[in-house]
Amino acid sequence: MVKQVTIIGAGAIGKAIGKTLSENQETKIHFWDVVKNKVRNQRPLADIVPTADFLFLCLPSFATPAAIKNIKPFLKKETIVISVSKGIDKKSKKFISQILKESLPASQNFALLYGPMLASELMRNQGGAAVAATTKKSAFEKIKKIFSHSGLLVSYSSDVVGVGALGVLKNVYAISLGIADGLGWQNNRKGFLTAKILEEIFRLLPLLGGRAQTTLTPAGVGDLIATGFCPTSHNQQLGRQLALRLAGSKESEGYYSLPPLAQKLDKRIKNFPLLSTIYQVVIKNQDAKIAFSRLIKN
């Protein structure tokens, strides 16, 4: 039986998810984007949301609440809503998982799909991996099935809050790997830095409501490696730009997530030296070379 898939957001990751799903001939895919010329012959939400078996939110995190508001009147209760958005709301300090839970109807099945899924590689059929985080194992089985003929390996986690937090943390810490690149750090120091990142995330996750062990899944260490070592990642590029003291936009999910994450942790951020250093460099404009040299000495 053909499954109807609606993808909200026709940017790079939305198109990559669509291409990956198109490998399954039992799916019919509809795109919708707020920028209408992105989708040829775009149909209204009232037509493509009520028929969806799966609805993907492939949007910047800040656009998620508005998107949910727009689709909610048309959602059928059987639809599984899947978000690949990663972020933390700057006002409420809530992760995407919490926003979905509070904004969608109480009976609506939803999942996060996080992991090493660089859009450019999915578009070139290079494959990837993702964790489908949901409280309903039956929803995971359905999600896994629609990706079964693709190069995306999907595994399960019930730690929805933890996976949501990891999406934020990996973006923030990926900036530090970009800084290391910009400073000319070689493999030994990058190895030290990566170990430090994982050690801090392992301690941070329980404070943010997740399980420490979730760090070791593709949504944690897998996504961190893919993003942090990818030269075209916005977070990595921002770090490199700051280290080289180049002018340019700071726009990246990691940049936008840092202030609300720091506010959420409050004084506890001092217990995480690397995270504190990233905050000082990115938000307080501290010199990256001086700040990161302290990490090596301590």
Name the residues annotated as catalytic: 170
Q: In what order do the strands lie in the sheet containing 152-157?
A: 27-32, 3-8, 54-57, 80-83, 110-114, 128-133, 152-157
Q: Is 13 annotated as a binding residue?
A: yes
User: Any known ligand binding at 288?
Assistant: no
Task: Tell me if 210 is assigned to a ligand binding site.
Answer: no
Tell me whether residue 119 is annotated as binding: yes
Closest by CA to 82, choosing from 14, 35, 11, is: 14
Q: Is 11 annotated as a binding residue?
A: yes
Phi, psi for residue 71 in degrees, rounded to 5:
-90, -25
Partners of 130 in the beta sheet?
154
Q: CA 201, 207, 210: angle at the middle one, nearest 5?
A: 75
Separation CA 6–CA 90 (nearest Å): 28
* Amino acid at position 24, single letter: N
Asked if 147 contacts 24 with a C-beta cutoff of 8 angstroms, the reply is: yes
Contacts of 176 (CB under 8 A, 6+ apart): 193, 197, 228, 239, 274, 277, 278, 292
Q: How far apart are CA 180 and CA 68, in angstroms?
A: 38
CB burial of residue 212 (10 Å; 0-12, 13-18, 19+): middle
> Considering only CA atoms, which of 277, 249, 279 is closest in space to residue 263?
279
Query: From the centroid of its chain, how far is CA 131?
Result: 11
**Is 180 annotated to bind ligand?**
no
Identity at 80, one-letter amino acid code: I
Q: Is 12 annotated in some ligand binding site?
A: yes
165 is in an annotated binding site: no
Nearest to 17 by CA among 89, 100, 121, 104: 121
Which amino acids are annotated as binding site, given as ranges? 9-14, 119, 250
Which amino acids are annotated as binding site for NAD(+), given as ranges? 9-14, 119, 250
